[in-house]
Chain A
Amino acid sequence: DTGVSQNPRHKITKRGQNVTFRCDPISEHNRLYWYRQTLGQGPEFLTYFQNEAQLEKSRLLSDRFSAERPKGSFSTLEIQRTEQGDSAMYLCASSSPVGGDEHEQYFGPGTRLTVT
């Protein structure tokens, strides 16, 4: 098992462009999360999937953001019309409940987005 992977690791884009990030969770994990982290802050929850269903979205996830997990495996996070305030590290995590409880989320290395 290679853990959670994210691509690309770094992305530089100009304001107004669209970007898409990919997350590949640990293969048997049915839960997948997206977080955003800005400098000096802890990760902030964005959205959560259980299999292919998007079950929760944070108020941080504006209408320019969309996430999908079409087959319940990998997920994509798209940001349309990027703004400088979107510059951040975007983290993906996955987990699998054991006995109905989920205690540990496994995080990927993140995608660092810089909007110029």
Chain B
Amino acid sequence: DAKTTQPTSMDCAEGRAANLPCNHSTISGNEYVYWYRQIHSQGPQYIIHGLKNNETNEMASLIITEDRKSSTLILPHATLRDTAVYYCIVRRTGNQFYFGTGTSLTVIP
């Protein structure tokens, strides 16, 4: 599976949109982009996934560039409860999830 590159940490003001970038320049055509997050002392939680098109659900939006070499997770109105480590993963369905070190997002009041 392709590797991903994410910033180590980011801050976001409460109520503002949090935009978390991810580079996956070696992604192949059948690999999906997944986002999970892990709040301190809990197991990871699924957020969203996509293949080519942008996706939106009740938690977040996923914007994938046309060449699929990068993506951005958008939390539209960040709250203090969104403070967590966010993992961007690319994976072929059926394969294992390989988590990197993720981006530690801190939402500031």
Contacts and interface: CB of A to CB of B under 8 A. Distances in A.
Interface of A: 4, 33, 40-45, 48, 56, 91, 93, 97, 101-110
On chain B, which size bracket covers the interface? Answer: 20 to 34
Contact of A104 (B42, B46, B87, B99): B46
A102 B93 contact: yes
Chain A contact residues: over half helix, strand or loop, or mixed?
A: loop
Contact of B97 (A101, A105, A109): A105
A110 B101 contact: no
B68 interface: no
A107 B101 contact: no
B96 A41 contact: no
Interface of B: 32, 34, 38, 41-46, 49, 85, 87, 93-94, 96-102
Contact of A42 (B32, B94, B99): B99
A42 B93 contact: no
A43 B38 CA distance: 10
Contact of B96 (A45, A91, A101): A45
Nearest to A45: B96
A44 B99 contact: yes
B96 A43 contact: no
Given A106-B46, A107-B42, 12 more contacts: A40-B101, A42-B99, A44-B99, A45-B96, A45-B97, A45-B98, A56-B96, A91-B43, A97-B94, A101-B94, A105-B46, A108-B43
9 contacts: A42-B38, A42-B99, A42-B102, A43-B97, A97-B94, A105-B44, A105-B97, A107-B45, A110-B42
